[in-house]
Structures are given as C-alpha cells and as structure tokens.
Chain A
Amino acid sequence: MIDFVQLIIIGTIVGSIIGLGAMGLTLSYGVMKFANFAHGDSMALGMFLAFIVVGDLGWAGSDIGRLSFGWGMIPALGLAMIGVALLNISADRTIYRRLRRRGAGIITMAIASLGLAIIVRAVIQIVWGSAPLRYSTGINPALTLPGDLKAKPDQFFIVGLTLVVAFGLYLLLYRTRLGKAMRATSDNPELAEIAGIDTERIRMSTWAVAGALTALAGVMFGIQAQLQFNAGFEFLLPMFAATILGGIGNPWGALTGGLIVGITQETSTEWIDAGLKPGVPFVLLIGILLIRPRGIFGSTV
C-alpha cells in the first residue's frame, strides 16, 4: 500500500512536468490550430539553455534551503524562458506566418514544425554534445513523510511551481484583455479580427507564453533527471496525450491530463514491466479518442 502511495507521489511529480509542458502545447494548438511537433525539442532546448547559466558559466549561486540547485537557477530559468519564446516567435515569423498567408493548412504547418524539431535537436547536440549532463552534482536527500513515504525537496518545488504557474495562467487568460483576445482568437480567428483584435499580435503573444511554459517544463524535467540532447521527441507523446485528454486549447484540462498521464504511467509499474511504461500514454490517448475525442473537459478547436 505504501509502495502504491509512493508511486502516486512520483506520478504527481512526473504529471506536473507533463502538465506544464502540455499547458504550453495546448495554448499554441488552440490558437495556431496545428500540432506543433517542435514542442518536445523546444522543451529540451529550454532545459539546455538553463544549463548555460548553472553549468557552462558555473553560476550555481548559493543554496536555496534544501533544494539541489542554488539561486543561479533563477537567471537560468529566465534565459531558458526568453530563449524558447524567441525561438517560437522567430519560427512563426520565418515559417508559420508565411504558410498561413499562403493559406496552407494545419498539416503543412505540422510537417514544417517537424523540420524545425530536427534542426533544434541537431543544434543542441552540436553545442552540448551527446553525453548526458546534470545541473548539479550534489545529491538531494529525500525527506521522510508520515507513513514512511519519501519525497525530495526538489519535487515539492516542482509541484508547487506548477500550481503557481497554473494560477498565473488562469489570471492571464481570464483577467486580462490579452487573455480575452487569446481566447477569442482561439475560438474564432475571423470573428476576432472583425471585432478589432490584431490576431497576428495575439499569435506572437501566444507563442511567447507557450514558449516560456515549454522552457519551464524543460528546466523542471532537467532538475530531476539527466539532460540528454534527444529527450525532446520522447516528451511529445505524453504531452500530446495530456493535451487531448484535457481538450485542445484548454489549459486546466492540459494540467489535469498531465496529472492523469503521470500518475497512471507511474502506478502502472505495479502491474506491468517498467519497460512498457512508455506505452501507457499511448493507451490513454487511444482510449480517449475512442470514447471522447474532444477531451474530458471539451475543446476550443
């Protein structure tokens, strides 16, 4: 029983990271309408951009309480979030906007995003090499919780940050004019344009917010795992599964979907071989497509 609760704790942490990434993915999917296959490799890029500060430059900073990383992670996060946001915006300027203007469909854009994914991955490999890296070499001893359960301080941080970011995204989407315009563009771009919304500007803002969320997810992943150049493609399936579970364009759905995917995936090892774990998001995805293809909470597209 304790083992099972322990697996749920691990699943919550994994699910938070998937949820963070899926919130970014669902935003761009909802507004841009196409499946961004560069999302996984952008997440990996964010993970490595943070390494520039805490690894390449060695600005780890002084310790923050009992976390495995120091204050240097704050500027590292900033660099990662700005970097991936800029990547998204420049990709839109050079690729997606041209395709949009030509009237190309969502599938053409999805294939173009695959091209971008290949480029980003190769650049990461050229700059940081193929050997796995780590943000910090120190160990992060686990805390013992009541009932002999274990969790690391880092993991509390990841779950806490995810909740804070989700709340912030709620405020952005439902309490600001920008958020309202984003939702309008997602619901119906033509109508939004008629209502005087500069949809191109909204698309840029969406790319920026989605990029920042993507980078955040990448850095959180890097905090509790090794940094590998080819991690990006492996992120894609769980994040898409979470996005579709929650309904495309629905950030709460994406976070809930991420938690469902994470917890199901980790607890599945009670019954199946750990090597079959990558199949769990796939089964969830096929299941939801069979039962409720618009997701548990409905979709905006």
Chain B
Amino acid sequence: MDLLVELPPLITFVGGVNWTVGFLTTVGIFAIVALALNLQWGYTGVFNFGIVAFFMVGAYTSALLTLERPGDFENHILGLEWPVPLGWIAGSLAAGVLALLIGLPTLRLRRDFLAIATIGVATILRSAVNSTEGLANRGAGLIGIPRFLDGLVDGADYRWVMLGIVLTMLAFVYVVMAAATASPWGRVLRGIRDNEDTAMAAGKHTTVFRVQSFVLGGMVMGLAGAIFAHRQGAISPTGFSDLFGTFLVWTMLIVGGSGNNRGAVLGALAVGFFWFGTPLIQEDLPDFLGTRVFQLREIAIGVLIIVFLLTRPGGLLEEEPRVSRFVPKPGSGSGAFNTAHEEGGP
C-alpha cells in the first residue's frame, strides 16, 4: 500500500477529532454563559449588556489566585498558588460582587438603565488592566495559568480531560438552573418579568428578586470565565472583546430560545458552530468572500439577531409555559419577548 495515499485521510480524521474536541470545549463554556444570561434575561427580564465584564472578572480573579508568584518579567498582584477549584469559586464570587455593585443602583429603575450601565464596564476593566502597573501584567497578559487535573494524562490527551471538566460543569450549572427556575423562586422571577405590578401586588419585593437573579447569573458568568482562563492558559485584556464575550452570547440565547434552558444550550451549539466553523471553509470560498469571512460572519450575527426578533422572537425552542409541576400547563402568553411586560418600569 502506498503510505502517501493513506496518510492524508488519517491526518484529516485526527485533525477533525481535535477540532471537534476543542470546539465542544469552547461551546460548553459559552453554553454556561448562555444559561446564566437565560436566568437574567430569559426568566427575569434583566437586561445585561456587559456579560464579558463578569466573564473577565472571573477569569482574572481565578488566574491571579492560582498563579505562581510573579517572576522577573511579570508584574501582577497575588500569585498565591491556590488550588484551581478554589480559584474558580473565588472568580465566581468576585463576579457576583461586581453584579451586586452595578445591580443595586440600577435594577430599581427603568429596565434599560442596567443595559446602559453595563455597556461600558468591560471597556473600563480592559483599560484599567492595560494601564495599571502591577495589577495583572498590563497588556502582555497573564501566562502559565495552571491546568486543573493536569497530572492525569499526557499533554496531548489533556484536551479530553478539559472537555470532560467543561461538560461536567455545564451539567452542574444546567441542573442548578433548571432547579432554580422551576422552584417557587423561579416562578416569582417569571412573574416579575411578565407583569411586575401583579408581582408587587402579590407582596413580592421585585427589586430584591431582580438583584438576586442578576447576581446569581453574574456568578455563573464569572465561573465560566474562570474555567476559560485555565483552559486557555494565557489571558490578556484584548481577548475579552464585547463582540466575543457579550454579543455572541446574546445571539446564542435569542436564536436558541429565551426562557428555555435547553434552548440556551442549543443556541450555544448552533451559533457556536456557525461562528467557529466559518473560518474552516475560508479557503474554499471565493477570494472576495474568503478574505472577509470574519467580518461577514459578524454581519451574519447581526442579521440573525434582527431576523429572529422579527420572525421568531421565541427562538428555536420556545419557552414552555408552566406555573408549577403541580398545575396543568396553561396557554401561552408569557416569555421574555412578550409584549405586555416590557414597558419602561416605574
């Protein structure tokens, strides 16, 4: 047999498997963020435009706590060599604190004020990291962020371990979200989303519930960011762009289905496949398309958002209306994009 003929398919197969493993790991992390946004927006109607800020806080907190002391060419605080899981918990808590600080002054006001307050937070964080000497090694970023469960397998096979970690965390977050949103607490959130006045009339302090939902969602975003940092091994401020960290997640949730946890995961997979898959076909495209493939996929993302809002606001998997598992399913009439509840607020 001719080896030269046999080799390419083998290489392609291994390449394909490696790509798929990396892809599923990335999409798994995005799915965790999409679930968090689904709690905030899909179930509570809390309008967060600064997702990447919480993601970034989680990533940096966990990285700084688990790194070794800074060497001669690095300049960052901490470096406490904590175990990785402790770093994840701390990253998640730090993102929760940020959510509390932003949520308290804004969530009692018009619903779009939170969005306005959150649009600039990531820019401020990036600028602060870039300009503050001795905080997090400025624009050069942090490198050598330790892996979790590194000793288990050889270097090349670690990607399978990482995939396992991410999928386990995704399953954990999914179960927590499903339980939270199906609980009486989740029912209050949906009540606030669909009709705030009724929820208030029922004696619920709606601002408190909105802050709780926003903080819990922020913590999950921070957790995803922390996992991301240890998966990448190196992070820098430019990596946390609004497009990548915020807009892409919004597209995932809108396409998948706001108010449906399975929809959030499906949206992450579908939009993620489109987003990370398009560079693969770059060489097969005609030149005038191939050289612009990165911009064209951005345009496609923008078009996707608008087309779904116009034609299928419920997303691919629409929210299943339900009051509680003890009550028969009612008719439709609720959902994040339902019309009645969205007015400005007080």
Contact = CB atoms under 8 A, between A and B. Distances in A.
Nearest to A237: B120
Interface string B296-321: 10110111111001100100000000
A102 B337 CA distance: 11
Interface string B313-346: 1000000000000000000000001010111100
A251 interface: no
B47 A122 contact: no
Contacts of A301: 344
Nearest to B307: A115
B131 interface: yes
Contact of A278 (B47, B102, B123, B242): B123
Interface residues of A, number: 49
Nearest to A29: B112
Chain B interface residue count: which class? 35 or more
Q: Is the interface of B mostly helix, strand, loop or mixed?
A: helix
**Residue with the highest number of chain A CB atoms closer than 10 Å, among B120, B127, B304, B342:** B120
Contacts of B304: 115
Given A118-B298, A289-B113, A111 B254 contact: yes
Interface string A170-194: 0000000000000000000000000
Contacts of B131: 273-276
Interface string B73-115: 0000000000000000000000000000010011001111101
Interface string A288-301: 01100100000001
A98 interface: yes
Contacts of B298: 118-119, 121-122
A112 B305 contact: yes
B130 interface: yes
B112 A106 contact: yes
B119 A233 contact: yes
Contacts of B124: 276, 278-279, 282
B120 A99 contact: no
A126 B292 contact: yes
A294 B341 CA distance: 21
A106 B299 CA distance: 23
B140 to A, nearest CB: 15
Given A106-B342, A115-B303, A240-B119, A276 B113 contact: no
B337 A116 contact: no
Nearest to A283: B124
B45 interface: yes
Contacts of A102: 339
A293 B343 CA distance: 17
Interface in B41-68: 45, 47, 49
Nearest to A277: B127
Contact of B120 (A106, A123, A236, A293): A236
Interface string A106-148: 1110111011111101110110000000000000000000000
Contact of A122 (B109, B302, B309): B302
B130 A275 contact: yes
B199 interface: no
Interface in B143-194: none
B119 to A, nearest CB: 5
A122 B299 contact: yes
B197 to A, nearest CB: 15
A25 to B, nearest CB: 11
Given A33-B344, A118-B305, A119-B299, A279 B49 contact: no
Nearest to B109: A293
Contact of A286 (B105, B130, B305): B105
Nearest to A240: B116
Contacts of B112: 34-35, 106-107, 110
Interface string A227-261: 00000011011001000100000000000000000
Given A104-B337, A108-B309, A119 B45 contact: no
A160 interface: no
A276 B121 CA distance: 11
Contacts of A281: 120
B343 A105 contact: yes
B21 interface: no
Contact of B105 (A106, A237, A273, A290): A290
A107 B310 contact: no
B250 interface: yes
B18 interface: no
A107 B292 contact: no
A237 B106 CA distance: 15
B132 interface: yes
Contacts of A290: 105
A118 to B, nearest CB: 4
A126 B130 CA distance: 28
Contacts of A273: 131-132
A126 B117 contact: no
B12 to A, nearest CB: 31
B115 A110 contact: yes
A119 B112 CA distance: 22
Nearest to A105: B342
A110 B303 contact: no
Nearest to B243: A118
18 contacts: A33-B344, A35-B115, A99-B310, A103-B339, A114-B250, A115-B305, A117-B302, A122-B296, A122-B298, A122-B302, A237-B116, A275-B131, A275-B132, A276-B132, A278-B123, A286-B102, A286-B106, A289-B117
Given A106-B342, A112-B309, 7 more contacts: A37-B115, A119-B302, A237-B119, A276-B128, A282-B120, A285-B116, A285-B117
4 A-B pairs with the lowest CB-CB distances in the bound complex, closest first: A275-B131, A105-B342, A237-B120, A115-B305
